[in-house]
Amino acid sequence: MLQDVTGSRGEKIVELCLTDYEAFSKPLFRPGLLGDKWPAIDFYVELIGVAGNRPYFFVQCKATAAPIIEKATSLRISSKKADIARLLQIPGPTYILGIHEPSRRVFARSVHTGVAARAITQIPFTHELTSVNLRKLYDEVRDYWQASGHKPTSSVFT
């Protein structure tokens, strides 16, 4: 029961984090919670304000209420090999967001080509989604979609 509450609160913290605009003139992201029916992802997130394009990325949330050890350099989370394998199968940018529920801090870890399909158990504190790192995340996803094709060039359903 407490694990469900921690997870639910973690998702709300992620939504607040991604829509924070204290350091910006407006939020950078529009997150959409997908709910429990999706095994690999919790959020579909669009970038706001990219002219002529609607770049997006996917997020899986992993919340914890465990205390942070004083000399720790990373947030400990619990994921499974299957979680990472599923994220690696999704085309486009995917991230695991670790949420320390008591402090409401959020940390990001990319799951991209070259990442081993094994459990991720920690996310460095340097990857906390501060305003600086929110901007880096925005730029990374925007640049990915600008370098990649956005739409197919043909279809059998024309």
Q: Is pLDDT above 90 for 2? A: no
Mean pLDDT of 65-86: 94
Dist. CA 67–CA 103, nearest whole Å: 10
Amino acid 53: pLDDT? 87
Cα→Cα distances 56→89, 124, 158, Å:
16, 23, 26
pLDDT band, residue 1 (cuts 50/70/90): low
Domains of the chain from N-terminus onward: 2-147 (3.40.1350)
- Cα separation, 9 vs 112, in Å, equals 26
* Residue 54 near residue 32 (C-beta atoms within 8 A): no
Q: Is the pLDDT of residue 124 over 90?
A: yes
